[in-house]
Amino acid sequence: MIQLYMIKKVFPILAFSMFSTMLGFGLIAPVLPLYAEEMGATGIGVGLIFAGWGITSFVATPIMGRLSDLKGRKRFLCIGLLSYCILSLGYIWAATVPQLILVRLLQGVAAAMVTPIAFAYIGDISPEGEEGKWMGYANAAFFGGYAIGPLIGGVVAEHLGINAAFYSMSGLCLLASLAVILFLPKSSQRKMERGEHLSFKKMSASSMIRGLFSFRLAMATGWGSVIAFLPIFSVTYMGLSTTLIGIVLTTGMLLMTLLSPLGGRIADRFNRRVLIIIGNIIFIAYLALIPLTRNFWQLLGPCLLGGIGAAISVPAASALIVEEGKKFGMGSAMAIFTMAMSLGMIIGPIISGGIAESLGTISVFYFASTVGVVGGALFAWFTR
C-alpha cells in the first residue's frame, strides 16, 4: 500500500520530466537542420549535430546510472533538468557550427541524467506485480513527448520564429526541474554500498540482460533506419508530400504511446517473455511490408502495425529490466536498456546509409527486418 501511494504521488512529476526532455528533443527536430544550414553547416555538419546528442548520451548513461545507484536519484534529475534548460538557450548563443555541435554534445550528457534515472526511480517504487503497468505509463510519457514534439516545434517556429522553439524547450525543462526540486521526495531505493559494487561486466553475464539488450538494440536499429530512409522511400516511390510523410512517421509512434499503458497491464498478467517475442514478430512484419507498399494508405497500415508491435513488446521488456534492476541496481539496469536504444538509433541510420548507396533504398527495410529477426532470436536464446 505504501508503494502504491508513493508511486501515485510521484509518478506525474517523473512522467512530466521525461515528457519535457523528449518533447524538447523532438520540438527542435524540424528547425535544427534549417538553423544549422543558416550557419553554413554542410551535410556532415548537420549529421554531427544530430549524432552528438546520442553519442554523449550513450557514453554518459552507464556512468550516471551507476552513480544514481550509489548517491540517489533526485540530485541527478535536478542537475540534468537544470542543465538541459540552460543548454537549450545555448542554441541561441551558438554562432558557429562547432559551437552548435558542442551544445548538442553537452545536452546529451544532461539527458543521460534525466530519462534513464527517471525510469529507475519508477522501477524503485513500482509495486511488485505491477511493473508492467507503470513501465507502460512511463513509456507513454517518454515516446509521447518524442512523437508530438516535431509537430509543436514546426508550428511554434512557423508563427513565432526558430528561437521561440529553443525558448519553449528551455521553459518546459525549467518547469520540470522546479517540480522535481519542490515536490519529488528522495528515492526509496536501497543505495548500493561500494563494497557490493557490481561491474557492468558482471551484470552483462546475466542471460536476461543479454537478451533484453539484444531485443532493444535490434528494435532501435529498425526505428533509426525507418526514420532516416522512410521519407526518401516515400518521395521516390510514391511522391508523397512532406505533410503526408510527417503523418506516417507520427502515426506509429502515437499509436504506441496510446497503447503502451494497455501493453503494460497485459505484461503484468501474461508471460512477459512471450509478449516480447510476439511483439517483435509484429514489428518485423511492419519493417518487411514497407517495400511492398505503393501509396499513402498502404504505407499507413504497416506503420500502425509497428506501433502495435512496440506497444506489446516494449512495456514487457521494461518490466523485465525492472526485475533485473532489483538485483543489479535499478539505475545500472536502466542504463544498459537505454544504451541499447541509443546505440541502435546511432548505428541504424549509418549502416542503412551504406546499404542504400550500394543496394538501393528498398534494401534498407529488408536489412532492418533482418536485424529484428536476429535480435528476436538472440532474446529467445538467451532467455530460454
CATH code of the domain in which 286 resides: 1.20.1250.20
Q: Do 251 and 341 sit in the same domain of this protein?
A: yes
pLDDT tens, residue order, the chain (384 aa): 556 656 777 889 999 998 888 887 777 666 676 677 777 776 666 667 767 777 888 889 888 988 888 888 899 999 999 999 999 899 889 888 888 889 888 988 998 999 889 988 988 888 888 888 888 888 888 888 877 777 777 777 778 887 888 888 889 899 999 999 988 887 655 445 444 455 566 777 789 999 999 999 999 998 888 877 887 788 888 887 767 777 777 788 888 888 999 999 999 998 999 999 999 999 999 999 999 998 889 988 998 999 999 999 999 999 999 888 888 888 888 888 888 988 887 888 778 888 888 888 899 899 999 999 999 999 999 998
Q: Do 307 and 366 sit in the same domain of this protein?
A: yes
Domain extent for 359 = 200-384
Cell (9 digits) for 231: 521519407
Is 158 a domain residue?
yes
Task: Give which of 173, 165, 181 is closest to 86, Cα–Cα.
Answer: 173
Q: Do 276 and 162 sit in the same domain of this protein?
A: no
pLDDT for the residue numbered 265: 92
Query: What angle is formed at CA 199 by the lines to CA 77 and CA 376, rounded to 5 degrees?
Result: 85
Q: Do 218 and 164 sit in the same domain of this protein?
A: no
From 134, 159, 185, the end of a domain falls on: 185
Q: Exposure of 72 by Cβ count < 10 A (0-12 exposed, 13-18 middle, 19+ buried)?
A: middle
Which backbone phi and psi does 186 adopt, to 5 degrees? -65, 145
DSSP-assigned letter for residue 370: H
Q: Do 208 and 343 sit in the same domain of this protein?
A: yes
The percent helix, strand, coil of the chain (3-state, each to 5) is: 85, 0, 15
Cell (9 digits) for 179: 517540480
Q: Do 139 and 41 sit in the same domain of this protein?
A: yes
81 contacts 176 by C-beta, under 8 angstroms: yes
Q: CA-to-CA distance for 251 and 307, rounded, in angstroms?
A: 8
Q: Do 136 and 259 sit in the same domain of this protein?
A: no
From 185, 209, 244, the end of a domain falls on: 185
Is 268 a domain residue?
yes
Is 296 a domain residue?
yes
Is 129 a domain residue?
yes
CA–CA distance from 343 to each of 273, 309, 337 (Å)? 23, 21, 10
pLDDT for the residue numbered 194: 47
Q: Do 49 and 135 sit in the same domain of this protein?
A: yes
pLDDT for the residue numbered 305: 92
Q: Do 345 and 211 sit in the same domain of this protein?
A: yes
From 185, 209, 233, the end of a domain falls on: 185
Rounded to two decimals, the pTM is 0.82
Q: Do 228 and 258 sit in the same domain of this protein?
A: yes
Q: Do 125 and 253 sit in the same domain of this protein?
A: no
pLDDT for the residue numbered 50: 67
| Total tally of structural domains belonging to the chain | 2
Is 49 a domain residue?
yes
Q: Do 118 and 206 sit in the same domain of this protein?
A: no
Is 192 a domain residue?
no
* Span between the terminal Cα atoms of the chain, in Å: 34
- Strands (E) across 75-150 are located at none
Is 325 a domain residue?
yes
Q: CA-to-CA distance for 1 and 149, rounded, in angstroms?
A: 36
Q: CA-to-CA distance for 169 and 161, rounded, in angstroms?
A: 13
Is 140 a domain residue?
yes
Which backbone phi and psi does 198 adopt, to 5 degrees? -105, 135
